[in-house]
Structures are given as C-alpha cells and as structure tokens.
Structure 1
Amino acid sequence: MTIKRVGIIGAGKVGIVLAGLALNAGYEVRISGSGSVEKIGLTIKTLVPGAIASENKDVVANSDIIILAIPLSRYKNIDPVLLKNKLVIDATNYWWETDGIREEVLAPDSTSSEQVQAYFKFSTIVKTFNHMGYHNLQEETHPKNDPRRKALFVTGDNQEAVTTVAEFVDTMGFDQVIHHDLADGIMTEPGSPLFGASLNYEDLKQIIDHFDQTEFGKKVAASKIKPA
C-alpha cells in the first residue's frame, strides 16, 4: 500500500502536531475537527499552513490512511461506515480529564483499542502515536540512523497493516518497536511504564521486553486469558 494522502480526524494538539509532521514528510494532509470547517481552517492556516481543513467525510474520502486523534470518549460520534475499508491509526488514550469516568467510556473486559476496533468493524486499526507527548512528537523527529532518533510502539492484529503503518512512522521521523497483537496497545496507555516515554529503540524495546515481569504486565496477561 502506497500512502500519499493522510487524513487526520481531530484538530487538537496531537492532531495538529501529526499534521505538521506529515506535511514535513511530504504527504498531502487533510484534517477535520469538532468545530466548523471555517473555524478549523483559521487554526490550520496559522499552525500548519499547507494542510487542508475539511469535514470528516471529505477527509476520509480523499486520504489513503486515517489518524484518529480525538478524545477517546468521542470515537462513537463517528459513523463506523464512514471509515469502511480504511486503514486507521488509533492515536487515542483514555484520559480522565477529557473523557470522564472510565466505566462510562470503556468496558472493563478489553483494551481501548480493541473496543475501537470492535466499533469500527469495517476498518483495520493499528495503535501508535499515543504514548509519546505531543511536544516530544513535535520536537524529537530525526532522520533514519540518527543516534538521537526516538522510537514509537506500533501494534495491531493485521500484520500487513502493521507493516504499512510502521513504514509510515519511519517517514514521520521515528523508529518502531513492532508487535502483532492489538491488545498489547494497553502497554502504552496511562498507568503503564511506556506512557509518556520518549526513548530510543533499544531502551523502548527493553522496557517492552521486561513488561510481562511487572505487576502491570501480569494484570495485562491475565486479562488476555479468555474463559473457556
């Protein structure tokens, strides 16, 4: 799959930063938000000139890959049919200040990305861009093989999709630590050792490799055991 056009749903801090990175990487970028196109357009023109402000339908129709960069509590505001047959990067996280009570947003028996995938059942979800702060995403991109380069965790159930997203992450200025289990996305969410981490490949991989030995990791492993 060749990616030339990037669509971002969410014109907040993360969405704006990712739009800037995608523009710098040479992609055509469209972005939508919760406000009117005119209002978002003023923000886009100021912060990421060159990106195209539009509504969700146009963003999806004219993009090869979609980045979901909205508060997690709002993902069900999007019609799942809108993202049918699309490769979607889930850059969301539960955060109590914006999402409210967790139990009102997420079921307790699976991870947030699994629930996002279940809702967007016609799409392919890959989790990344969610554990590093937006300031780090904006300021710590480096060319391949640069010793200062940082890494992002990339995971999903579809191996071909994960490979495509990993290649995209590479063009955005980051190395990738890759898994092929969408449920592993919980390792990057608030409360995990990786949340907020801005690390190089070796350090990030080391934390992930030792993750199962932590109490948090044991809870994650236990949650993956399905009843017979």
Structure 2
Amino acid sequence: MVTKRLHDARARLEALQQAEPGREFTVLGETFIKPKSSAARFARFIRVAWDQQGRRRNLTQDEHRAFWAWAAVEFLRHTGVRIEETNNYYQFRDGDIADLLTGSLTAGELFQRYVPGARTVKTFNTIYFEHLISLARPAGSRDRSALPIAGDDDAAKESVTALLDRLGYDTVDAGATTESWRIQEGSPAYVLPYLSDPRLPWPRDPGKPADAKEVRTALEQARSRS
C-alpha cells in the first residue's frame, strides 16, 4: 500500500514537471492544470496543480509524505522493532476491505502484512481516548482497569504489559494476532466494558473501571458468539 502510494505520488509529480504551464495533464486517471509561470525558466520548479474540483494540490508535498510513510514502514520491516498497533477497521470510514468483511483476516493480521518483521501488539484500541486518561490508576488500586492485548511475540507482549503498567493499567492477553477479532469494533470487549451507560455518546460518558476479570469475561463472550 505505501509502496503504491509512493509510486503514484512520484508519477503525479513527474507528470507535473513535464507538463506545459497553463495546460491540462492527465496521470493515473486524474486530470490537473499546471499553473502558469511568469518566466519559462521557472516552469520546472512549479510544484502545485489544480485538480478537477478546483482544489490546489501540492504534489511535491504529497510525494514527500508518501516517501516518509514508505521509509517508516521499511524501517520497521528491517529492524523488527515493537509496534503498539492501535487501529480499528470502520467500514464507513475505510471502505470495503474484502478480507476483513469476510473474516478471512483480522485487522491486526492485515496491519502485520504491511510491516513484516515488526513485532506488533494490538492494544489501546478498545477504549475511548478520554477514558484512557481518566481511568488510569496506580498499581494495586482496587478500581484499576485492564486493557486487552493481542500479538504473536511473547517478548513484545511482556514489553507492552510493562508499558501499560506504567500508564496505569493491568493487562489481559487475548491471544495471538489471529485472535484479535475478539477485541475489534463490535465485540463485547470493544469500548463497552469502560462505559457507565452504553446509551450515552462516548464523550458524555464519564467512564467506569473494568478490571481484568470483566475484560476476560467480555473476551469469552466474543468466543462463545463465534
């Protein structure tokens, strides 16, 4: 995905550089207009274009962003560093992804495909961000909450467990990345354990603690529904 994004961004930038000022040019099925320059010798330095909706696009900036996204993924691939994977798949936002809609892959497995070699641990994705702050408690507190994690590397899980402990949370291991469907959007462990009233919009809910036992129960409920 990031490699294609970089390839496409470079193709657009190259097409812009080759186009005549003030003329339309088409690349990858998109049509742009290259701005006019007051001096021909400066035409090759133009880095912006107008798209078909009249929006100003900085194609150099697009290429820079695509490059650094690609570079970050390549770094992770070759160093094998640990990543806390916090993503959730929302169809209305992310579109139709067949592997996720059919259940042939979990969102965690799909993410891992883009960073092969990295040791990913899925966490933080089951709690509303404001509750993540308000529900943090020191170790040993009676009202301390727990967060589920999922991943394939035991050492990475231990590291993430230590991180969560420092941030004010206990940990419940939900299993391997293939099991991370149990902490995806729509599962009993997703957000609900930390809500005082599920009928309220999340920003209006003050949040409530959910200990390790409650989180384990939610994970088991997900298993029993499969």
Q: TM-score, normalised by structure 1?
A: 0.56
Cα separation, 2, equivalents of 1:154 and 1:104: 22
Mapping of residues 44-83 of structure 1, within 5 Å: 78-79=70-71, 80-83=73-76
**How far apart are 1:103 and its partner, in Å?**
3.4
Q: What CA deviation, in whole Å up to 9, does each residue of 1:85-114 have, x standing for no partner?
A: 210010010123432334398775110101
Cα separation, 2, equivalents of 1:78 and 1:138: 31
| Mapped contact 1:159–1:180 kept (Cα < 8 A) | no
Cα separation, 1, equivalents of 2:217 and 2:124: 19
1:203 and 2:196 are equivalent in the alignment:
no
**How far apart are 1:163 and its partner, in Å?**
1.0
Cα separation, 2, equivalents of 1:163 and 1:117: 19
Structure 2: stretches of 5+ with no match in the other structure:
1-65, 195-209
1:16 aligned residue? none
1:122 and 2:133 are equivalent in the alignment:
no
Cα separation, 2, equivalents of 1:208 and 1:108: 17
AA at the equivalent of 2:137: H
Cα separation, 2, equivalents of 1:202 and 1:105: 29
Larger CA deviation: 78-87 vs 121-130: 78-87
SS in structure 2 of the partner of residue 154 of structure 1? strand
1:213 and 2:206 are equivalent in the alignment:
no
Larger Rg: 2
SS in structure 2 of the partner of residue 89 of structure 1? strand
CA 1:108–1:211 in structure 2 vs 1: closer, same or farther (change >3 Å)?
closer
Cα separation, 2, equivalents of 1:208 and 1:103: 24
Cα separation, 2, equivalents of 1:194 and 1:117: 21
AA at the equivalent of 2:177: L
Structure 1: stretches of 5+ with no match in the other structure:
1-73, 219-228
**How far apart are 1:187 and its partner, in Å?**
0.9
Mapping of residues 183-202 of structure 1, within 5 Å: 183-196=178-191, 197-198=193-194, 199-202=210-213
Q: 1:173 aligns with which of 168, 174, 194?
A: 168
AA at the equivalent of 1:204: V
Which consecutive aligned stretches of 4+ in structure 1 deviate over 4 angstroms post-superposition? 104-108
| Mapped contact 2:187–2:222 kept (Cα < 8 A) | no
Cα separation, 2, equivalents of 1:194 and 1:180: 14
Number of residue equivalences: 141
Cα separation, 2, equivalents of 1:100 and 1:195: 20
Q: TM-score, normalised by structure 2?
A: 0.56
Cα separation, 2, equivalents of 1:125 and 1:151: 19
2:139 aligned residue? 144
Cα separation, 2, equivalents of 1:193 and 1:211: 6
